[in-house]
Amino acid sequence: MRLVLAGVAWLTAFGLFAVLIEWSARPPRPRPTPPAVTDLVRALNKLESSSPNAKHEPWTVTRATSAYRAMVVDVEADMPEDAMQIANDIVDPLRAKYEEVLIYVRPTGNLNAIVRRIQWTPHNGFVEMSY
111 found inside a domain: yes
CA separation for the pair 131, 27 (Å, rounded): 42
Helix axes 39-49, 83-91, angle to 10 degrees: 110
Model confidence at 104: pLDDT above 80? yes
Q: Sorting pLDDT into bands at 50, 70 and 90, what band is 121?
A: very high
CA separation for the pair 1, 69 (Å, rounded): 83
Q: Which of 6-15, 43-52, 63-72 has the least mean pLDDT? A: 43-52
18 found inside a domain: no
Residue 101's pLDDT is 93
CA separation for the pair 11, 14 (Å, rounded): 5
Provide the CATH number for the domain around residue 98. 3.30.300
Whole-number mean pLDDT of the chain?
78
Nearest to 101 by CA among 72, 130, 61, 80: 72
Residue-wise pLDDT tens digits, 28-50:
544 444 455 667 777 777 765 55
Residue 56's pLDDT is 45
6 found inside a domain: no
CB atoms within 10 A of CB 41: 19
Model confidence at 55: pLDDT above 60? no
Q: What is the total residue count of the chain? A: 131
23 found inside a domain: no
Q: What total number of domains does the chain contain?
A: 1
User: What is the arithmetic mean of pLDDT over 89-100?
Assistant: 88
Q: In Å, what is the CA distance from 39 to each residue of 17, 49, 71, 74?
A: 50, 15, 14, 15
CA separation for the pair 45, 69 (Å, rounded): 20
79 found inside a domain: yes
- Domain range for 76 is 39-130
Nearest to 89 by CA among 103, 79, 108: 103
